[in-house]
Amino acid sequence: MSAKATISRTSRRALRHAAVALDAVLPRPAGVTVLSYHQVGAPQPGAVNLAVDAFDAQMGLLADQRQRTEPVTLDDAIAGLASGATPTTDQVVVTFDDGTADFVDHAVPVLVRHGIPATLYLATAFVEDQRSFWDDGTVLSWSALRDVLETGLVAIGSHTHTHALLDRVDAATAGRELEASRALVEDRLGVTPVHFAYPKAMPPARGSATDLVVRGSVGSAAVAGGRVNRFGATDLWRLSRTPIVAADDLDAFARKAGGGLRLEGEVRERVDRLRYRRAAR
């Protein structure tokens, strides 16, 4: 292992220990934890590509802990956050980004087996043009998505049309991206995407023209941050999500699903902002 890799691994361990310690002294606020996934069992290994058995264990844990942390639909979570009424249990929402074949092939069967609802934030151009999102040779089809909707557990949200980064486009471009995504989902799947996730969790400045377009177009907009979304005190167009990565063992997942490791999420959000500053998509 190189010196750079060793330093990076040591830094991650130190951050994890600090996050666990902070969780011990700062109680979890009442609210909703939104989990963010990308791939499950995809052909190429990667930091956000989970093994199928790992994802299965995670969803099994959520199913087993329903009395403490209830898995709910994104629609129900948003309604609760907006109302400000505090449920008797904390809530967790499962979301996926992009739209890849492995979601249908591997993730959905696990969700069905455990009865866990999920929202797929879809970048529609890749399905419409039959392009592989991760350049791994696989593509997702509209017919496969129609089959998925019949499970009753999957909702479709928007992730723009072309996976455009809306922190660097004008308001007109953002509007076209959202409208193209909405129109395609309605036409191909017969449902209307209500919720939205910013590609690479990169939102425009609050109050900017692009920000106002998003707020006027969708019912919620997700970013990153690893924070618990508090009932009655959450900006629904800055909905915090907690990324689940391949390196997370079951203990780390349980902590994240329970609203923990918040410090780790906040640090990762800041690092990603720097890393994606020059990203094309």
Domain at 29-275: CATH architecture: Alpha-Beta Barrel (3.20)
Confidence band (pLDDT; 50, 70, 90) for 22?
low
Q: What are the CA-CA distances from residue 175 to residues 128, 193, 216, 237 (Å)?
A: 19, 14, 10, 15
User: What integer is the mean pLDDT of 233-245?
Assistant: 95
Contact 120, 189 (CB under 8 A): no
CA distance 155 to 120: 6
Query: What predicted TM-score, i.e. pTM, was given to this entire model?
Result: 0.90
Who's near 169: CB < 8 A, 6+ residues apart? 177, 210
pLDDT tens digits, 145-199: 999 999 999 999 999 999 999 999 999 999 999 999 999 999 999 999 999 999 9
Could you identify the residue written with the tokens 């308001």? 171
Contact 90, 28 (CB under 8 A): yes
Indicate the DSSP class of residue 106.
I
Domain extents in the chain: 29-275
